[in-house]
Structure 1
Amino acid sequence: MALIKRLTPNSYQYQPVYKSYHKNSPILRVALVSDLDKASKEGQMWRSVVIVGIIFRQGNSYDFQEQEEFNISLPINENGRGMELSELLSFNGSLYGFDDRTGLVCAIDIEKKKAYPRLILRDGDSFSDKGMKIEWATVYKDSMYVGSIGKEFTTPTGEYLNDNPLYVKQINVDGKVSVLNWKNKFNAIKNAVRIYGEGYMIHEAVAYSVSDNKWYFAPRKCSNERYDDIKDEVRGCPYIISTKDFIHFNIINDPQHDFNKGFSSIKILPHDENKLIYLKSVEVGKRSETYMGMISTTGEVIMKEKLITKMKMEGIEFIPI
């Protein structure tokens, strides 16, 4: 049975979300999902918090206003962890959430406030008993591309364990999953900002622009030093990197960069693909915060970063108005 109904050849640009907006729409509706880590467990269920709100234009800038907040829950878990949703993506007429613990891909109905299991992705090349640590998702042509952190899996002090997070899953409109090895692509992105050797980059925010035929990567963390779990908390990455071919790259320096914050989700505005909205997460010690901001593809601040909540929200997506 097909994963989702086929709508058009271009399953992202011409879906209902885009039909409800026009270029320079003054109001855009968005949904956000949470990754509450161990706090996701609630009785015999695991939950994610959904925040729905509007982004509205104020002169040449934008602001955000929350409209409602609710929980979505499922019993699916792996070793007592589940529904730690790290990304939200609209694809072919449906809205999908992605769990970074179990590898679950679930359909989310905003109006009914429900989540429905669709797929479970496995780690690495898929021959694994461990769920994929999903951190980002975007649409390329007629498929969802779903990725992990984009760096080698290591111990907390940086000793190499495996390449599993370098694999990307391609999910077509019929639900077929293909496995892609992106090791060379992730290395090229890292090298584009002169990070080599034991230096690393962690990805949680990726978007593809149909109109520009360009990939955008907003790494959450990066460093020229070896990975270290504690030091990593304050290694927020200052770049947004774009490319058409993974050979030539354009680097945007983030004018609102703060080492405590890291990109956790990024989306391209409907019909206005020179603007990028994003979430940034803070996880320093016991401190947890989520900020929202907007930047142009040339590096101009369009929305000053705004504290949305002290919950960790790691996915944002546009939904019909």
Structure 2
Amino acid sequence: MPRDRERLERYDATTSSYMIMQITDEDRASQITLEDGETYFMARLRFDRAHREVDEEGQVRYRFEHIPDDAGGEVHVFSKFGEVDTNTFRGGEFSEMLKWGRHMLVFDDRTGIVGELRGENHMIIPRQMLMTGSGDEAQKGFKCEWATLVGDELIVGSHGKVRQEEWIKRLGPEGYAVASEDWSHVYRRIREACKVGDAGYIVHEAAEWHPYRERWYFFPRKVSTEPFHEPTDEREKGNNLLIEADAQFQTIEVRQVGTRVPERGPSSIKLIPGHPDEFLYMKSVEIGGKTESWIGAADISGNVLAEEEKLGNFKCEGIEIA
């Protein structure tokens, strides 16, 4: 069975309760020094539950159960690997999670490292390092922002806002061979479908491939018809448009999911095993020093299945079902 279907069949249609995992991108605050003097990059790994409930009329709703920190709801994960950035050392800025067989992968948007969560001490072991753009143009890590499985391949994508971020990476079944593919035409088609015009932009951090429908689903973080201006982007350009496209991106549909909250934008989306026409998603808020994480649920037709709930004053950018 192809791995994309295997991933969605690890639970069946009778499943009504899921353990969910979320990982943070702490940006510059990720670097810490432990009591033994060792310097690491740290992220929060959250564990919560999502319960699927169906009422007498057949209406599906999701209810979230937040596990307290002292009951195992939050642990810290550590990485030793970073990248020099204007006289600073940065790393451990995780923007996505993905279950790949028995492996739980995390994706660092600073270094381009694809790591695996391992062991009771939750160390992150690097498995692959992806390079920006075509992979040959600069000593710069790929800004990993979204990941999904297509057949037996792992597809990792980026923002799509500037030229170097319009590439994707294809990793073979064993995770060793990496191919870089120019997706500028795909990102352009999505911008056209959203009617942002030549001056506007779209920022992608959440995408999934639906193997049964053979459709792509993108849930962009930011959508703007105006040129990028950071303070305006942070406060006003949060998105609620879900984009559905066929495999070749020839036919694209755009629909709303709930009410747009200008400061919130999707940072991760996951189809639900056993109920693959439904999905969980994360939204992030990042305004100056203010950060928040929100969780919600919907279906691929745009129907809201859970009102968005705040997780906390931190920035989770990856979600996956354990």
TM-score, normalising length from structure 1? 0.90
Q: 1:89 aligns to what?
A: 98
Cα-Cα RMSD: 1.4
Give the partner amino acid of 1:71: H
Give the Cα separation in 1 of the matches to 2:291 and 2:204. Answer: 19
Give the Cα separation in 1 of the matches to 2:259 and 2:223. Answer: 16
Give the Cα separation in 1 of the matches to 2:52 and 2:189. Answer: 36
Give the partner amino acid of 1:88: M
Q: 2:2 aligns to what?
A: 10
Alignment of 1:226-245 (within 5 A): 226-233=227-234, 234-244=236-246, 245=248
| Aligned residues with identical type, % of pairs | 29
Q: 2:128 aligns to what?
A: 119
Q: 1:212 aligns to what?
A: 213
**Mean alpha-carbon deviation: is it higher for 50-59 or for 299-308?**
50-59
Indicate whether 1:108 and 2:117 are aligned.
Answer: yes
Give the Cα separation in 1 of the matches to 2:14 and 2:211. Answer: 17
**Mean alpha-carbon deviation: is it higher for 65-74 or for 195-204?**
65-74
Indicate whether 1:179 and 2:180 are aligned.
Answer: yes
Indicate whether 1:57 and 2:52 are aligned.
Answer: yes
Q: SS of the residue aligned with 1:42?
A: strand
Give the partner amino acid of 1:26: S
Give the Cα separation in 1 of the matches to 2:240 and 2:186. Answer: 19
Give the partner amino acid of 1:318: I
Conserved in 2, the CA contact under 8 Å of 1:275 and 1:296?
yes
Give the partner amino acid of 2:48: G
CA gap of 1:110–1:64, structure 2 versus 1, over 3 A, is farther
Give the partner amino acid of 2:42: R
Where has structure 1 moved over 6 Å in runs of 4 or more? none
Deviations 1:115-170 (A, max 9, x none): 21111111111112011111111111111110110111xxxxxxxxxx11001000
Return the offset for 1:24.
4.4
Indicate whether 1:167 and 2:167 are aligned.
Answer: yes
**Mean alpha-carbon deviation: is it higher for 52-61 or for 182-191?**
52-61
Q: SS of the residue aligned with 2:4?
A: coil
Conserved in 2, the CA contact under 8 Å of 1:24 and 1:272?
no
Q: SS of the residue aligned with 1:13?
A: helix
Conserved in 1, the CA contact under 8 Å of 2:77 and 2:121?
no
**Mean alpha-carbon deviation: is it higher for 177-186 or for 115-124?**
115-124
Q: 1:276 aligns to what?
A: 279
Return the offset for 1:13.
2.2
Give the Cα separation in 1 of the matches to 2:45 and 2:32. Answer: 15
Q: 1:288 aligns to what?
A: 291
| Aligned partner of 1:317 among 290, 315, 320 | 320
Q: SS of the residue aligned with 2:9?
A: helix
| Aligned partner of 1:75 among 57, 77, 80 | 80
Q: 2:308 aligns to what?
A: 305
Deviations 1:33-88 (A, max 9, x none): 00001110011110111001211124431122233211111110112111110000
Deviations 1:226-260 (A, max 9, x none): 11112111201230001112111121112132111
| Aligned partner of 1:131 among 120, 138, 141 | 141
Return the offset for 1:110.
6.8
Q: SS of the residue aligned with 2:6?
A: coil
Give the Cα separation in 2 of the matches to 1:24 and 1:64. Answer: 18
Give the Cα separation in 2 of the matches to 1:223 and 1:308. Answer: 26
Indicate whether 1:256 and 2:259 are aligned.
Answer: yes
Conserved in 1, the CA contact under 8 Å of 2:79 and 2:123?
no
TM-score, normalising length from structure 2? 0.89
Return the offset for 1:195.
1.6
Give the Cα separation in 2 of the matches to 1:24 and 1:88. Answer: 25
Conserved in 1, the CA contact under 8 Å of 2:5 and 2:151?
no
Runs of at least 5 residues in structure 2 that lack an aligned partner in the other structure:
34-38, 55-59, 68-72
Give the partner amino acid of 1:130: K
Q: 2:23 aligns to what?
A: 33
Return the offset for 1:225.
0.8
Give the Cα separation in 2 of the matches to 1:250 and 1:203. Answer: 16
